[in-house]
Chains A and B, each alone.
Chain A
Amino acid sequence: MTAQLPPGLHMEKVDERIMTLNVGPQHPGSGHMRLIVKIDGDFIVSCDPDPGYVHRGEEKMAEYRNYITNIPHLERPVIHDSCNVLYPYCLGVEELLGVEVPERAKYLRVIASELNRCVYTQYWLAIYGIFLGHSTMFMWPAGDRELFIDMLEKMTGARVTHAYFVPGGIRNDVPANFEDMLLRRVDYFEKRIKEYAAIFYDNPILISRTTDAGVLSREDAIRLGTTGSTLRASGVDFDLRKKEKYDAYGELDVHSNVLKAGDSYARSKIPWLDMLESCNIIREAVRKMPKSGSVRVKLKPNPKGGDDEVYKRVESGRGSLGCYIVSRSKPEPYRVKMSVGSFRNLICLPYLLKGEKLGNMPAVYWSLNYWPVEADR
């Protein structure tokens, strides 16, 4: 090359065999993000995830609003999992303000959180199904999701964006006769998702396609800092509901699902097993919940925290979801930082896709339990 380049720039050497595909942001196989995939024939040479298309500055917005008005917008990164997104923030603010949550509110929080985990996981599973070309697996979870969306609507008043958790408890108590209806729906939901095994998880084509696709070893999973279902599919038993028992999870018997394979199939099966486990947790929580009592501690208007900082984390649908709040004795937080599971799981995508076939790309990419909007926040 004779052309003079400005200092600091260099020409990239391009192999003629290598073809660069921009998968996304306008591609049916990507979320709100781009994967820059370089392929040699049918094999992926390198993959460079490029998130950031839906960055909305939630953390910066949180610095201009007080602790209560932050609630509705902080749940926006994952509206399908909005209770779990708000959970660490509420726990953190409660610790800053020194508020003790009533016992009944703790259990209702657990129930809402588990319902929301199922709703999120069903949505995720629907997209995993359609990414593999299984259109029935798109429609069934999307339909069965409605069972719990209805329950959440009865609890919170909104179908998707609930804004249900507030510092000091939950916004409203559940309506009368809620527990019976919930238990019936949980039973039906469990029966339905057990049917998914017959059409999806035991499907020989699915198994042959996703086993040994994108294998993440136990060491790599820990080294890359993955979390949630990605970590547990690689054989690491790390579930915050069991390890750091927050709220009412201390009194409940939580079983965390672990698989050893670490491939796309195992990663896709863990959330499904988690949904079955969620059904058990909901049943147990309904049984142990105090039947009456206060659900919310009355806070002072415009509460102020001290000169303090707090970090709380919960197990969301995508893994550990942490919230770091710095308070400077003002009604507004000085800094709110969310550490989300999606972004941490995305990091291992370039390692997993290297050397894989192009046909495995959607199976590996979506099995990471990644939600593009959450990663961008």
Chain B
Amino acid sequence: MSVIAPKFRLSYFIKSILDNAFWAITLLTLIGLPFVQVILFYLELPVIGGRLLDPYLALTILADPSRQIPLLQSFIQTDFFKIAVFPGFGFAALLAAGTIFVERKMLAKLQLRVGPFYCGKIEGILQLMSDGIKLLTKEIIIPAKADKPIFWAAPVLFVATAAAFVSLIPAAGGGWVVADVEVGLIAVFAIIGFFPVITVLSSWSANSKFPFIGGIRALHQMVSFEIPLILSVLGVVILTGTLNLTEIAESQDPFWWIIFLPIGAIVFFIAMLAELERIPFDLPEAESEIVAGWLTEFSGMMYGLVQLGSYLKLYAFAGLFVVLFLGGWSGPNIWPPFPEEIIEKGIELGPVTAHFPGLPLLDQQMLNDVLWYVIKVVGVIFFILLPRGVFPRVRIDLLLHIGWYKLIGLAFVNIFIALGLLYAGVLGPEGIL
């Protein structure tokens, strides 16, 4: 590996570094600086030393880093931060990327092999990045007879829909959700309803046989599993009396709903696997029958976008499961409190003492919430990944049989349990618990 190439020339090497540096600076200037300006436009600029933070004063941040803190603080309170970074896309994409890596390593351990190993020296942690670069640099091939606008739009729409789904999932108490909708649960199902449409559009527009069969399969599967999915959460709604996801999560203060409604949780979990097209329900992508199903004609980053969308969807479903059944972000307080002396006395950095007046940026309660939420979500994702190593694929008729006969029946049993608990006065607004 670490052998110098036989035709190595130092001058070429330096030239390549200079070329790369040129492009990095150019791209930073053309994209990065406008991006920063756009962010600054949305920020409520702080007053520092009786003076609004203008570009001249902004340069003094370099000399006194503590002046960044008010800037960061006002950035955290913007909607842009919520959409792009924390409960929104960035957080979800990070968890999704972690999911892909954990899936590959875990499956490898299960199957007595190593998994990604070489890229990044330590257990192949950079494998995902190299895969992403590979997908980005690959040629995108469009079938000659495809309906091109729709075919191009499908992956983008898929990611957009998945991101919209992510935006409804609250990640911590105190309004840490992108879209705090009063009827959040209904909005979730409204968004889930778009996925089969996008799938069928993409498979139809590819104008190819295997994607077509895969798309029809996906349509059957998603439509028939949406019904048990919706019915299984009705129990939670009956007991909570609200559709707002934040309120549902906070309503499970002493007891999680999975304790009272285990059947509903199981039905929701199985229907979730089918909605996510994961093994054992990955019929729309069954490779030994229909090549790659509705993904067959996608290549390069179009395929990458669909994969990103499906893992975002996986995170969102896991988050929804946590919010509905596992008590959301509730948990004992284990996050250490912010050290008081930093706020009061500041930190001594050699000759100067730095004061950070805006600290802490995020309060202890919120960080604790996020910690518990992430722990639970990761646990649920683990159980979503696990069947891939254990089960073969089911057949479409068996799948529909499971969906229409068994899961819907069980979902109704769950509703009756919820009603029984409500009218027996155990739970609900006037319950004893």
How many angstroms from the CA of A205 to the CA of B279 in the assembled complex? Answer: 11
Inter-subunit contact B392/A362 (CB<8 Å): no
Q: Mark A352-376, 1 if CB is under 8 A from B, else 0.
A: 0000011111100000000000000
Nearest chain B CB to A221's CB is how many angstroms away? 24
Inter-subunit contact B396/A135 (CB<8 Å): no
Residues from 272 to 298 in A contacting B, C-beta threshold 8 Å: none
The 8 Å CB contact of B394, one of A19, A129, A205, is: A205
Verify if A69 is at the interface (C-beta below 8 Å from B): no
The 8 Å CB contact of B390, one of A143, A199, A359, A362, is: A199
Q: Mark B378-390, 1 if CB is under 8 A from A, else 0.
A: 0000000000111
Residue of A nearest to B393 (CB): A133
Residue of A nearest to B395 (CB): A359
How many angstroms from the CA of A139 to the CA of B280 in the assembled complex? Answer: 17
Knowing A28-B287, A29-B289, the reply to whether A203 touches B111 (Cβ < 8 A) is no
How many angstroms from the CA of A172 to the CA of B392 in the assembled complex? Answer: 43
The 8 Å CB contact of B393, one of A21, A132, A138, is: A132
Verify if A136 is at the interface (C-beta below 8 Å from B): yes
Verify if B8 is at the interface (C-beta below 8 Å from A): no
Residues from 227 to 278 in A contacting B, C-beta threshold 8 Å: none
Nearest chain A CB to B206's CB is how many angstroms away? 15
Inter-subunit contact B398/A136 (CB<8 Å): no
The 8 Å CB contact of A143, one of B112, B210, B279, B290, is: B112
Residue of B nearest to A213 (CB): B395
| Residues of chain B with a CB closer than 8 A to A199's CB | 390
Verify if B213 is at the interface (C-beta below 8 Å from A): yes
How many angstroms from the CA of A208 to the CA of B401 in the assembled complex? Answer: 12
| Residues of chain B with a CB closer than 8 A to A139's CB | 111-113
Residues from 52 to 96 in B contacting A, C-beta threshold 8 Å: none
Nearest chain A CB to B105's CB is how many angstroms away? 14
| Residues of chain A with a CB closer than 8 A to B97's CB | none
Residues from 1 to 40 in A contacting B, C-beta threshold 8 Å: 19, 21, 27-29
Knowing A29-B288, A135-B389, the reply to whether A209 touches B395 (Cβ < 8 A) is yes
| Residues of chain A with a CB closer than 8 A to B392's CB | 129, 132-134, 137, 200, 203, 205-206, 209
Residue of A nearest to B212 (CB): A19
Verify if B391 is at the interface (C-beta below 8 Å from A): yes
How many angstroms from the CA of A323 to the CA of B142 in the assembled complex? Answer: 50
| Residues of chain A with a CB closer than 8 A to B112's CB | 139-140, 143
Inter-subunit contact A205/B280 (CB<8 Å): yes
Nearest chain A CB to B300's CB is how many angstroms away? 19
The 8 Å CB contact of B288, one of A132, A140, A206, is: A132
Q: State the main secondary structure of chain B at its contact with A.
A: helix
Verify if B291 is at the interface (C-beta below 8 Å from A): yes
- Tier of interface size on chain A: 20 to 34
The 8 Å CB contact of B213, one of A29, A133, A208, A358, is: A358
Inter-subunit contact B291/A28 (CB<8 Å): yes
Inter-subunit contact A357/B396 (CB<8 Å): yes
Residues from 214 to 228 in A contacting B, C-beta threshold 8 Å: none
How many angstroms from the CA of A63 to the CA of B280 in the assembled complex? Answer: 51
Nearest chain A CB to B212's CB is how many angstroms away? 8
Inter-subunit contact B287/A21 (CB<8 Å): no
How many angstroms from the CA of A136 to the CA of B291 in the assembled complex? Answer: 19
Verify if A179 is at the interface (C-beta below 8 Å from B): no
Inter-subunit contact B282/A133 (CB<8 Å): yes
| Residues of chain A with a CB closer than 8 A to B107's CB | 135
Verify if B135 is at the interface (C-beta below 8 Å from A): no
How many angstroms from the CA of A19 to the CA of B211 in the assembled complex? Answer: 13
How many angstroms from the CA of A209 to the CA of B402 in the assembled complex? Answer: 13
- Tier of interface size on chain B: 20 to 34
How many angstroms from the CA of A359 to the CA of B293 in the assembled complex? Answer: 12
User: Measuring CB to CB, which residues of chain B are less than 8 angstroms from any residue of chain A?
Assistant: 107, 110-113, 209-210, 213, 279-280, 282-283, 286-291, 388-398
Residues from 195 to 215 in A contacting B, C-beta threshold 8 Å: 199-200, 203, 205-206, 208-209
Inter-subunit contact A359/B283 (CB<8 Å): yes
How many angstroms from the CA of A134 to the CA of B290 in the assembled complex? Answer: 16
Residue of B nearest to A210 (CB): B392
Nearest chain A CB to B393's CB is how many angstroms away? 3
How many angstroms from the CA of A208 to the CA of B282 in the assembled complex? Answer: 16
Knowing A133-B280, A209-B398, the reply to whether A28 touches B288 (Cβ < 8 A) is yes
Residue of A nearest to B401 (CB): A208
| Residues of chain B with a CB closer than 8 A to A205's CB | 280, 391-394, 398
Residue of B nearest to A41 (CB): B216
- Contacts beyond the supplied A133-B288, A135-B279, A205-B393: 11 A-B pairs with Cβ under 8 Å: A19-B209, A29-B287, A132-B288, A132-B392, A133-B287, A203-B392, A205-B392, A206-B392, A209-B393, A359-B283, A362-B289
Verify if A131 is at the interface (C-beta below 8 Å from B): yes
Inter-subunit contact A136/B389 (CB<8 Å): yes
Verify if A153 is at the interface (C-beta below 8 Å from B): no
Verify if A160 is at the interface (C-beta below 8 Å from B): no
Verify if A130 is at the interface (C-beta below 8 Å from B): yes
Verify if A100 is at the interface (C-beta below 8 Å from B): no
Nearest chain A CB to B290's CB is how many angstroms away? 8
Residue of B nearest to A359 (CB): B395
Residue of A nearest to B220 (CB): A42
The 8 Å CB contact of A359, one of B111, B289, B389, B391, is: B289
Knowing A28-B287, A358-B289, A359-B289, the reply to whether A135 touches B388 (Cβ < 8 A) is yes
How many angstroms from the CA of A35 to the CA of B213 in the assembled complex? Answer: 17
Counting chain A CB atoms within 10 Å of each CB, which of B283, B289, B290 scores highest?
B289
**21 A-B interface contacts by CB (under 8 A):** A19-B209, A21-B209, A28-B287, A28-B288, A28-B291, A29-B287, A29-B289, A133-B286, A135-B388, A135-B389, A136-B111, A136-B389, A138-B111, A143-B113, A199-B390, A205-B392, A206-B392, A209-B398, A357-B395, A358-B290, A359-B286
Residue of B nearest to A37 (CB): B289
Nearest chain B CB to A159's CB is how many angstroms away? 19
| Residues of chain B with a CB closer than 8 A to A206's CB | 392
| Residues of chain A with a CB closer than 8 A to B113's CB | 139, 143
How many angstroms from the CA of A139 to the CA of B113 in the assembled complex? Answer: 8
How many angstroms from the CA of A136 to the CA of B113 in the assembled complex? Answer: 10
Counting chain B CB atoms within 10 Å of each CB, which of A21, A200, A361 scores highest?
A21
| Residues of chain B with a CB closer than 8 A to A143's CB | 112-113
Inter-subunit contact A361/B111 (CB<8 Å): no
Nearest chain B CB to A215's CB is how many angstroms away? 16
Nearest chain A CB to B274's CB is how many angstroms away? 13
Residue of B nearest to A131 (CB): B288
Which 3 interchain pairs have the tightest Cβ spacing?
A133-B393, A139-B111, A29-B288
How many angstroms from the CA of A133 to the CA of B292 in the assembled complex? Answer: 12
How many angstroms from the CA of A352 to the CA of B318 in the assembled complex? Answer: 42
The 8 Å CB contact of A361, one of B210, B287, B289, B391, is: B289
How many angstroms from the CA of A131 to the CA of B392 in the assembled complex? Answer: 9
| Residues of chain A with a CB closer than 8 A to B282's CB | 133
Counting chain A CB atoms within 10 Å of each CB, which of B280, B287, B393 scores highest?
B393
Inter-subunit contact A140/B280 (CB<8 Å): no
| Residues of chain A with a CB closer than 8 A to B213's CB | 358
| Residues of chain B with a CB closer than 8 A to A203's CB | 390-392
Residues from 103 to 122 in A contacting B, C-beta threshold 8 Å: none
Nearest chain A CB to B221's CB is how many angstroms away? 12
